[in-house]
A and B are shown apart, each in its own frame.
Chain A
Amino acid sequence: SNQQARLEGFFKPV
């Protein structure tokens, strides 16, 4: 089944 990704996987902290 599908796993919920987290935002940090796409957007980097600044």
Chain B
Amino acid sequence: MLEARLEQAQLLKKVVDAIKDLVQDCNFDCNDSGIALQAMDNSHVALVSMMLKAESFNPFRCDRNIAIGLNLVSLTKVLRAAQNEDILTLKAEDAPDSLNLTFESSDKDRISEYDLKLMDIDQEHLGIPDTDYSATISMPSAEFKRICTDLMAMSESVTIEAGKDGIKFACNGDIGNGSITLRTVQDVENKENNIEIALTEPVSLTFSLKYLVNFCKAQNLSKTVKLHISNEVPLLVEYAMEGGSYLRFYLAPKIGD
């Protein structure tokens, strides 16, 4: 059986909030290393890969592989009943038809308990190869969100160009064009403001801004975001959490015909 206790419900609330507009029905695949999810959006352009490591829970117990088939809209309705600081416990049997969730207020004067019906989801899994990306950019997640939102007001697509002079986000729209260029920032006082660019070769790829703006809903999970880019492969946008857990988004590029 699965028993997983989170010190603060907000971790799961934020994760589900960040992905629920991209994917609807998906399996939480549980084993002794944690809770994983992989799901594509309906158009098969974007993929969500979540890993909540056992280390992010206290305690975490899951002695065999358990698939928890969830509708994220339904899960959101239940999670809305949890306060951010509540202690959240997930419980499920080995072949579950429901997921048990309890929310305990931190001063223990209130315990809420919900059982959520599960679904049988036959999910297609894609193999994601280990990739040495040509460019890896680490930046404040709020900055990335601002760039995507600003450019989306002008255009459907953004071209991300990483070179030795920095990283440039450029768009062309009906009303004109725009670009934002970022250079390396080293803020010793506050490392969260750093912009780091690791480059092995210059890259330039075009992506749909609609999806990137959607990924930015994960902004609350982490103060920094990492973009991994190589020519001719999907972009990886990664939000790292405590305990080695992460939320990753992959986005297929737009390719010239």
Contacts and interface: CB of A to CB of B under 8 A. Distances in A.
A2 B157 contact: yes
A3 B252 contact: no
B233 interface: yes
A10 B252 CA distance: 8
Contacts of A5: 45, 252-255
Interface in A1-14: 1-14
B95 to A, nearest CB: 23
Interface in B151-177: 157
Contacts of B47: 7, 11
Nearest to A3: B257
A2 B124 contact: no
Given A6-B44, A7-B40, A13 B124 contact: yes
A3 to B, nearest CB: 5
B127 A9 contact: no
A3 B126 contact: no
Nearest to B40: A7
Nearest to A12: B127
B206 interface: yes
B208 interface: yes
Interface string B215-252: 00000000000000000011000000000000000101
B108 interface: no
Contact of B252 (A1, A4, A12, A14): A4
A5 B127 CA distance: 17
Nearest to B257: A3
Interface in B122-142: 124-129
Interface of B: 40, 43-47, 124-129, 157, 206, 208, 233-234, 250, 252-257
Interface of A: 1-14
14 contacts: A1-B256, A3-B255, A4-B208, A6-B43, A7-B234, A7-B250, A7-B252, A8-B44, A9-B252, A10-B233, A10-B234, A11-B127, A13-B126, A13-B127
